[in-house]
C-alpha cells in the first residue's frame, strides 16, 4: 500500500506537456461543440464530440499516469512493470488519442492553420507500421534498454518516441477526424496481424529465453524472484498485453471489410436489376 502513495514522479517535462495539451483541447472544445449545435458547419454530432473528447483526455491520462505514478519508479526496479509501462505509453494511450480525434479542438485553440501533417501519416501505411514496430522493438535491445535505466534524459526520449510511434501506428488503423482512412480494411487487417506476429516473436524470445538480457536489473528487489523470472514475466506481459487492443482492432477492421463487401454486392445487384434488359423480339435482318 505504501507504494501507492510514495515514489510519485515530478517529471516537469511530462507535467508541462500534459497540462498544455489537456488545457488546449478543453479550450477549443466549446467551439467544436458549437459546430454540432449548428452555429457553424458541423462535421460530427454533439454526442460523438463528447465521446471523442473523453477518449482523448483518457489517452493523455493513461500516458501521464504511466510516467508519473509509482509505475515510473517501479519500471526501474522490475522488468515486467517496464513492459507494462511500454504498452500503456506506446499502444494504449496513443490509440485512445487517435480515437479521440482532438485535432479540430487543438487547432481552434492554437490557431486557424490546418493540420496538414496528419495527411502525411496515412500516405504510406506499410512503411509507417514498420517504422512504429522498429521503434517499439529497438528500445528492447539490451544495450539501449540498460542505457535508459540510468538516464532520465534518455528515458524521456524513449517515451516520446513511443508516443509518436503509437500515433503513427494507430493513424493507419483508425479514421481520426478530419483524417479519413483510404487504405482498405483488409490491408489494414494484414498490418495488424503482422504487428501481432512481431510482438509474439519478441514475447516468446523473452519468455522462453534461458539467458538474462538485462543484467542492469540485478538489484536487491529480486530476492523472491530472479532477474530471469522477471524477464520472462515481462515477455508474457508484452505478448499477451498487446493481443487485446490488436484483437479489437482486427475484429473492427474485418467487420468494416465485410460491410463494404456486402454493400458492393448489393450495389452490383441493384445495378443488374435496374439495367435495361434485352428486347423480347430481336429484329432479324432481311425480314420485313
Q: What is the pLDDT of residues 177-189, one digit of tens each?
A: 767 777 888 888 9
Burial of 40 (0-12, 13-18, 19+ CB in 10 A): exposed
Peptide bond connecting 178 to the previous residue in cis, omega within 30 degrees of 0: yes
Question: Do the beta carbons of residue 107 and residue 115 sit within 8 Å?
Answer: yes
DSSP code of 24? H
Mean pLDDT, rounded, for 244-254: 92
**pLDDT the model gives residue 157:** 94
Report which of 227, 192, 194 is spatially closest to residue 212, judged by C-alpha positions: 227
Mean pLDDT, rounded, for 222-237: 86
DSSP-based helix, strand, coil % in the chain, nearest 5: 75, 0, 25
Residue 97, pLDDT above cutoff 90: yes
Beta-carbon contacts of 1 under 8 Å, excluding residues fewer than 6 positions away, are: none
Q: Is 179 helix (H, G, I), strand (E, B) or coil?
A: strand
Q: Is 176 helix (H, G, I), strand (E, B) or coil?
A: strand
Distance CA 158, CA 164 (A): 10
| Average of per-residue pLDDT values in the chain | 81
Amino acid at each position: 500500500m505504501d507504494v501507492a502513495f510514495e515514489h510519485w514522479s515530478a517529471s516537469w517535462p511530462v507535467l508541462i506537456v500534459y497540462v498544455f495539451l489537456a488545457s488546449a483541447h478543453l479550450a477549443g472544445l466549446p467551439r467544436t461543440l458549437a459546430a454540432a449545435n449548428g452555429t457553424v458547419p458541423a462535421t460530427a454530432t454533439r454526442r460523438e464530440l463528447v465521446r471523442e473528447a473523453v477518449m482523448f483526455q483518457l489517452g493523455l491520462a493513461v500516458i501521464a499516469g504511466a510516467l508519473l505514478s509509482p509505475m515510473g519508479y517501479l519500471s526501474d526496479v522490475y522488468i515486467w512493470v517496464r513492459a507494462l509501462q511500454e504498452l500503456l505509453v506506446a499502444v494504449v494511450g496513443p490509440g485512445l488519442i487517435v480515437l479521440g480525434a482532438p485535432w479540430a479542438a487543438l487547432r481552434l485553440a492554437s490557431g486557424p492553420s490546418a493540420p496538414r501533417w496528419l495527411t502525411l501519416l496515412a500516405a504510406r501505411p506499410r512503411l509507417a507500421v514498420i517504422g512504429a514496430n522498429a521503434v517499439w522493438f529497438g528500445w528492447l535491445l539490451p544495450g539501449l534498454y540498460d542505457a535508459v535505466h540510468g538516464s532520465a534524459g534518455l528515458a524521456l526520449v524513449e517515451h516520446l518516441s513511443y508516443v509518436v510511434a503509437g500515433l503513427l501506428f494507430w493513424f493507419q488503423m483508425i479514421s481520426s477526424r478530419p483524417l479519413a482512412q483510404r487504405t482498405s480494411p483488409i490491408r489494414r487487417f494484414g498490418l495488424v496481424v503482422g504487428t501481432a506476429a512481431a510482438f509474439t516473436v519478441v514475447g516468446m524470445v523473452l519468455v522462453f529465453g534461458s539467458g538474462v538480457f538485462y543484467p542492469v536489473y540485478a538489484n536487491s528487489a529480486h530476492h523472491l524472484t530472479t532477474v530471469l523470472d522477471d524477464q520472462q514475466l515481462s515477455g508474457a506481459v508484452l505478448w499477451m498485453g498487446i493481443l487485446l487492443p490488436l484483437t479489437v482492432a482486427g475484429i473492427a477492421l474485418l467487420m468494416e471489410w465485410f460491410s463494404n463487401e456486402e454493400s458492393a454486392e448489393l450495389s452490383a445487384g441493384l445495378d443488374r436489376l435496374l439495367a435495361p434488359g434485352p428486347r423480347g423480339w430481336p429484329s432479324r435482318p432481311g425480314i420485313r
